[in-house]
Structure 1
Amino acid sequence: MSTDTEHVEEGAETSTLRAWERWYHLPVLGAVMLFMLWVRTQQYERFLTDDGTPALAGVDSWYHWRMIRWTAENYPSTMPYEAWTGFPTGRYVGQFGTLFDQLIVTAAMIVGLGDPSTGTVYAVALFAIPVMAALVAVPVFYAGRRLGGTFGGLVSVVVLALAPGQFLSRSTIGQLDHHVGEVLFMAIAVFATMVAVRVGERDRPIYELVAEREWDAVRRPALYAALAGLALALYVWVWPSAVVLVGIFGVFYAVALSIDYLRGVSPDHLAFVGAVSMAVTALVAVVLFEEPSTSPTSFGYLQVLLPALVAVGSLFMAWLARQWNARDLDRRYYPVAIAGLAAVAFAAMAVVLPDLFDTIANNLTRRLLPLGEPTTDVTIREAQRPDDFTAHAVAEFGAAFYTMLAGLALLAARPLLGREYRAEYTLVIVWSLFLISMAATQIRFAYYLVLAVAVVNAAFVADVANLFDIDVRGSLDSLRSVETYQIIVVALVVLLLFAPLLPPLAQAGGTAWAQGNATAPNSDARVWEGSNEWLNENTPEPGNWAGADGAAELDYYGTYERPADGDYDYPEGTYGVLSWWDYGHLITVQGERIPHSNPFQQNARSSSAYLTAESEERGELILDAIAAGASVSEQSNEELSGIVEGNESDEEIRYVMIDYATAGGKFGAITQWTGPAYGHYATPEDYQLGEPIPVDEINETLTDLPYDDTMTSRLYFGDATGMENYRLVHENAEAGSPLFASYAVVRDGQVALDENGRPAVAVNRQVSRGELLQLDNDPRFEVFDVRQAAAVKTFERVEGATITGTVDDSSVADANATVFASVELATADNRTFTYVQEAAVADDGSFELTVPYATDDELAVEDGYTNSSVEATGPYDVELAVEGEDGLELAYDGTTEVGETAVVEGQTVDVTLEEATGEPGGADAGETDGDGDDGTQDDAQDGGNDTQAGDAGESEN
């Protein structure tokens, strides 16, 4: 009796172990996915705000939030055209408002029972990204299992979960961007294609079966191929630029079909899979078609033509193989013929379809291959090439990168080791090599490479185990017969793969959970939030400028049809906001105003041209040319005048917003778009290249630089003093008042020279209080200017009021008289500064000056104008000075009020001057700073160590 019980218990135990052996991967996979989810959501509280406003981690995340809110309001439609960016034309948004955003909104609709609140949509959007990242583990596991069994599949997902690089940083909570969607759907598409290719090899569909309509024989491979094509189409639907994977698959089919033919295997099997899958992708792309262009970021011709070409190419290669056989040609020349025909096809494309050819060629060098000269993409940090790709890859994946390379070699060598050849191995090899190349081309594409690193390591583990006769399936029999050396091998492989990704071997802060713990809302969004909220509340709605009634035509969540010429016809009273392109999405979402340039890099060149313009005249011509619909970059002032002349459009750029980074650290990148290079702005105009500048002459030589004449400097640091058509209307001091230091690199008692013979000078580099002290005490540097300004400043373009008057004094005409108008102004946080304008007095004693600041606030937002937070503390002081023996001497003075209406509409204000004596205050104010800086900056330079300056500087670093 007891013996029978023991047998039953032993049988039950064996059954349990057998069940564990069969299903153990599911709880392990689930645990890994939960770990991935926890790592990415551990700092969710940082993204919850008291007032319910969104707090997101990336700049593009803000535009996805715009798309998600729009889709929620118009569900299930997606935005056909965006009128709230890219002023004055609008913008087709392409890779935004895609399946990625629809999936998030659909989930919110389910959670919110069909009518989700904004809070519900936001909560779902926050958690959707980590959930998608965790779901990547599913296709990675099953792809890895195809190469290395169940154990290999689990190795793949653990590598994926522990990788601390780009994939993790772009999939934490708050990162509301499509990158994680790209990775998820690429993984699904690759896995589905692996399965379809294998089914094609097993079921062997051939042309005769299709011709004779033997559907039963081809149904299974056709179904799997169609599913693979659908998976690829979904990937394209998430991100139109996913056509890059279509190109990779095209190379795979060309290589694999050639290998099959060389091996004596009919290419029909693989060609059938390629033709069916790519045909399905092309058909879905036809349904998604939105824009008649070959842009990779649009649902256009490229997304339809490229998979269609791969489908046709697959069929052509199968047909050519049959013709090769019929003529009894040497099989070895078949791949050569294919390569030659491909070259001819591309040459023909360059002639017949030049736009398509240029798109493919440009994307080869920008996304696929680290070739060619860098473009303006280098001003996007994530699009830059890694300085040291190997170091970059090791930082991303540790030793798993090297084991992936070994795994690729072992996959390619499997036929040589007497193991079965599979076309899916070729697929994985080709795909992995392209991902390596892409990651070497742009830093960000390491988030794709993580897939290959994870999946191929399954093959590495399986092949190493095979070499040492280790059964990684973990069966009961194998566990009983395991040898000591086999345990050691497994332990070494596990250490090699995972130890560099775990403490203490991981770099400081380089573990997955440390990276996840460091995630936080985007700093630019926090800095700009106050300025954009002010913009939303204190400027007229677009369409209502100057009392126009066009705002009803510009519903923020409205639907706008795509204009045939790509130029949206805005209603009267619409205006734009100019900033550097980094901040365009923030202006659209936080401020609900229409930026000129944006992170699509739309209009980046014209924004650069404006911000680097070295006179107010040129800056105004550029903005007027933009309103005229011209492409602005390197035209002369005369050419710009010709463009502007005759323009009857009332569309204008009304506001200019500049932050500390635009004026400081980003200015070098801004110059790359239009030139001249940054060195021009940091070099005195009369400087002879190679001329030495002694240390004791630095202040004298470098205090008047071309940078000081740029619109950026005159507005941001000068508060528009001396300018006629710009006034400061708001500054965001709550976000900090950073310090800026200009300094020269000193070597051997003089300023060092760069490779072009220019002085090695940094202009307005943002520094903390501590960094400024270090620069002051370091003999290698000489600080020659220190400035301080609010984090973000907003300026308004106005006509300017003209102050006129006449002095009936014949002696004035003979004394080179100058008239000055000055007014003290105060910001909302009680910072005061003085605006000064000057002009020469005519021979008849008359004068006129154009000034942009008003001394009252008689116009309000309700009237269609700006509610400025910068107000005059009194009237304008107008002073006329003549040259005397000791310089300028005050001869006449007076005061006048300048109304808001006069400033906005360009009216004339008369002033009466009376005789006076003494020194002209306006002249002194005007001469204080040649570059238009106000006293606040000078105080920072002289004192520099006050509490406000130090704390503000440190808070921004």
Structure 2
Amino acid sequence: ISPGQFLSRTMIGFNDHHVMETLFSTIIAMFLIMTLKVAREHPITFDNLRNKNFDALKPALPYMILTGVSLGAYSLAWYGAVFFSFIIGIYFTVQHIIDHMHKRSTDYLAVSGAIIFLIALLMVLAVPNLSSKGLLLKGLYGGIIAFPLLTLVSIELNKRNFKKYYYPLAIIALSIAAIALAKTFSPSIYALIGSLASYFMRTGGGTTIAEASPLLYQGGVFTLKPLWYNFGPAVYIALVAFLMLAYEVITKKNTQEKTFLIVWTVMIIWATLQQNRFAYYMSVNIAILAGYLGIRLLEFGDWNTFLPNFRSKIRSMADLPELVKVINIKHILSAILVFLVLINPTYTLAMQQSQGVGGPGGQWLEAVGWMRYNTPDPGISYYENYQKPPAGERFQYPDTTYGVMSWWDYGHWIEVIGRRIPNANPFQQGIGGRSVDMSEENRPGASTFFTAPSEDEATAVLEAIHPDPDKAAARYIVSDVEMATGKFYAMTAWTLDTANYYIPVQTSQGTQNVPGPRYFNSMEARLHIFDGNGLKQYRLVHESPAGYSAETGYKNIYNQLFGGSIPETNTGYVKIFEYVKGATIKGTASANETVTISATIKTGLGRTFEYSQTTSGGAYEFTVPYSTEGPVPGQTQFDTRPIAPYTVSYGNTTTEVRVSEMDVLDGNTIVVN
């Protein structure tokens, strides 16, 4: 059992497609290796096909078909499947060079590669509205063209008696020419070529994605610890096996399947070093390589002769005493060595890690469960199939449809468990911000909403996201304490504007970076740290039970450094806010009076906090988000509300004001006499 990411992403309850990626990519590799082995034993040539001698193709054809079907299934499972097509393409190129240098026919590579990619292509073409379909098709078309072309170049160079090292030079020249032509005549294909490298080189907010960070760097510091966490001692055993395998490939002929394993492993190592998410891919390669070394150890212990001897001498239970004559000390020692070195350490590490499972915690399950049953039906059926609108047109949502704004990490939970439409999701859709530099527009999205320095600017983001300028893209905002603390930097990183959210402060432990004014003015802090106190159009409607977090530390910093007086306690781990029009309360006070409107808010957990706004100048006008009269049917069934009417106070005057739910939802005006 492989520990680390492979274990965590294959446990029951993990809500993503990673395990499907690993499954299909491994099946592709298995059938491709079988294709190569059979094609070596039953050579496939263009002459056979020209002469309609298809018998030469029959032995390998089933494995080609299975490889193609597996590649097609992989392409349908993950929009980034062009990655494994790229690995296959690199291998076929390397194998072409090896075969040409050894003066072997490369016909089998052209035929098998074209058939495999053609089958996958037909599967992708058969599925309408497939995400990144264009990207997948370009990769598959490229293979169908490239593999026969590589073989034709080999044939022509051999016919003309060119020196064999001209072939790799010809491939390099063809590659450069293809890139130049793509840049000139097909920008989309040129972009595809660039994306294969840039996908692994994240910048800006992309560097904050946990699974997209480099494997051997934690907090910017180089470390080998992730190797042990993800693979245990098997990684070092696999390294030895890799070197042994590489030696065989170099010194022996016709090692196509071993060459593929080497190329596959090198490419996966490269990907994993760039983005640690590929560690669950690499677990397969580590297991195969470790298994290869295990086989060599057992062969050294004469286990390859044990089974024939066992079958010849042990024919019934009565023959079991003869077992002592079949087995010897080398058998026993080699088996013990394999168990102690390959199996036990990895198993122990995996069992330790299995005690903690991933996925949504209890607070999130409670919060999105509450949302599902206590917020209005968005008018979109969870199980319905909807037709994609024609190109250039937008899907026409019902008037009752609304979105839910949260950080992209939680989009799938909101959609699958809460049955609501998230504005951002783990496909990195809806994040907004910038990609390259500060000269770009700060695109509206989750990052720009939560880092907005004021309520008005946050609301402007919601309005900018919605295609209708008169509507906001989200009715509900979901925040958790991680967004307000550890994940907040990621939000700023996606905007590329990270300065001054944290400031250096001298403490007894030296200089420490702590949240500063820019952080506490952000929309995320206003919502989660301050419970939305003073906001005009955002109200807390539900909070989950609290959990131990850094929240109290942030509140302590605010109180100590900025003169605050907020309770230093952990509040709801997940908080759900509703964006409303708000009721307007108007009145007149004495000139130059400071007027305050306030209410004590009580959550469903019994926690209370103060809500207030202040203005001055005689006439006053407040927009408030809370109803004092409770929920109404068909709207949010909130469990967080004022315990009494609002109080408007100035000088010696105090007035109570009641606000109905429809006043809040419709934006009505209440005049205080």
TM-score by length of 1: 0.61
For 2:89, the equivalent position in structure 1 comes to 250
Are the aligned partners of 2:501 and 2:515 in contact in 1 as well (CA < 8 Å)?
no
Superposed counterparts of 1:204-353, under 5 Å: 204-291=43-130, 298=131, 300-353=133-186
For 1:680, the equivalent position in structure 2 comes to 500
Equivalenced residue count is 638
Are the aligned partners of 2:206 and 2:494 in contact in 1 as well (CA < 8 Å)?
no
Superposed counterparts of 1:527-676, under 5 Å: 527-542=363-378, 551=379, 554-563=380-389, 564-565=391-392, 567-605=394-432, 606-628=445-467, 647-648=469-470, 650=471, 652-676=473-497
- Same amino acid, percent of matched pairs: 31
- Partner secondary structure for residue 10 of structure 2: coil
Among candidates 238, 249, 254, match of residue 404 of structure 1: 238
More divergent stretch after superposition (530-539 vs 603-612): 530-539
Q: 1:416 to 1:905 in 2, by over 3 A?
A: closer
CA–CA distance in structure 2, aligned partners of residues 619 and 475 of structure 1 = 72
| CA-CA distance at 1:527 after TM superposition | 0.6
Q: Does 1:381 align with 2:210?
A: yes
Among candidates 537, 554, 577, match of residue 725 of structure 1: 537
For 1:126, the equivalent position in structure 2 comes to none
Task: Give the residue type in structure 2 aligned to 1:659.
Answer: D
| CA-CA distance at 1:329 after TM superposition | 0.7
Q: 1:763 to 1:189 in 2, by over 3 A?
A: farther
Q: Does 1:526 align with 2:362?
A: yes
Are the aligned partners of 2:205 and 2:495 in contact in 1 as well (CA < 8 Å)?
no
For 2:438, the equivalent position in structure 1 comes to none
- Partner secondary structure for residue 895 of structure 1: strand
CA–CA distance in structure 2, aligned partners of residues 395 and 739 of structure 1 = 26
Among candidates 644, 651, 664, match of residue 903 of structure 1: 664
CA–CA distance in structure 2, aligned partners of residues 598 and 346 of structure 1 = 33
CA–CA distance in structure 2, aligned partners of residues 676 and 416 of structure 1 = 51
For 1:500, the equivalent position in structure 2 comes to 345
Are the aligned partners of 1:801 and 1:898 in contact in 2 as well (CA < 8 Å)?
yes
- Partner secondary structure for residue 60 of structure 2: helix
| CA-CA distance at 1:500 after TM superposition | 3.4
| CA-CA distance at 1:651 after TM superposition | 5.4
Deviations 1:174-217 (A, max 9, x none): 23543222222222211111111122222222112212212223
Task: Give the residue type in structure 2 aligned to 1:559.
Answer: N
Q: Point out where structure 2 has 5 or more consecutive residues left out of the alignment.
A: 311-322, 433-444
| CA-CA distance at 1:259 after TM superposition | 0.8
| CA-CA distance at 1:704 after TM superposition | 6.8
| CA-CA distance at 1:622 after TM superposition | 1.4
For 1:751, the equivalent position in structure 2 comes to none
| CA-CA distance at 1:476 after TM superposition | 4.0
Are the aligned partners of 2:408 and 2:426 in contact in 1 as well (CA < 8 Å)?
yes
Q: 1:655 to 1:323 in 2, by over 3 A?
A: same
CA–CA distance in structure 1, aligned partners of residues 653 and 395 of structure 2 = 53
Are the aligned partners of 1:289 and 1:299 in contact in 2 as well (CA < 8 Å)?
no
For 2:610, the equivalent position in structure 1 comes to 834
| CA-CA distance at 1:743 after TM superposition | 7.0
Among candidates 454, 476, 500, match of residue 287 of structure 2: 454
Are the aligned partners of 2:96 and 2:109 in contact in 1 as well (CA < 8 Å)?
yes
CA–CA distance in structure 2, aligned partners of residues 826 and 391 of structure 1 = 46
- Partner secondary structure for residue 220 of structure 1: coil
CA–CA distance in structure 2, aligned partners of residues 704 and 407 of structure 1 = 52
Superposed counterparts of 1:780-819, under 5 Å: 786-807=568-589, 812-813=590-591, 816-819=592-595
| CA-CA distance at 1:391 after TM superposition | 3.6
TM-score by length of 2: 0.86
- Partner secondary structure for residue 201 of structure 1: helix
**Greater gyration radius:** 1
Deviations 1:259-310 (A, max 9, x none): 111111111133222222222222222223534xxxxxx3512222322322
CA–CA distance in structure 1, aligned partners of residues 20 and 53 of structure 2 = 39
CA–CA distance in structure 1, aligned partners of residues 71 and 388 of structure 2 = 27
Q: Does 1:740 align with 2:551?
A: yes
Deviations 1:570-609 (A, max 9, x none): 1112222212222222222332222211222211221111
Q: Point out where structure 1 has 5 or more consecutive residues left out of the alignment.
A: 1-160, 292-297, 503-509, 543-550, 630-646, 684-689, 745-761, 766-775, 777-782, 881-889, 913-957
Q: 1:323 to 1:363 in 2, by over 3 A?
A: closer
Among candidates 272, 275, 278, match of residue 439 of structure 1: 272
CA–CA distance in structure 2, aligned partners of residues 289 and 375 of structure 1 = 33
- Partner secondary structure for residue 615 of structure 2: strand
- Partner secondary structure for residue 501 of structure 1: helix
CA–CA distance in structure 1, aligned partners of residues 514 and 278 of structure 2 = 42
| CA-CA distance at 1:730 after TM superposition | 2.0
Deviations 1:388-434 (A, max 9, x none): 574423333333323322323322323665x5532112111111111
- Partner secondary structure for residue 802 of structure 1: strand
Are the aligned partners of 2:502 and 2:516 in contact in 1 as well (CA < 8 Å)?
no
Q: 1:289 to 1:826 in 2, by over 3 A?
A: closer
Q: 1:217 to 1:270 in 2, by over 3 A?
A: same
CA–CA distance in structure 2, aligned partners of residues 357 and 177 of structure 1 = 30
For 1:851, the equivalent position in structure 2 comes to 624
Q: Which structure has the higher relative contact order (CA within 8 Å, separation 6+)? A: 1
CA–CA distance in structure 2, aligned partners of residues 491 and 794 of structure 1 = 56
CA–CA distance in structure 2, aligned partners of residues 405 and 602 of structure 1 = 38
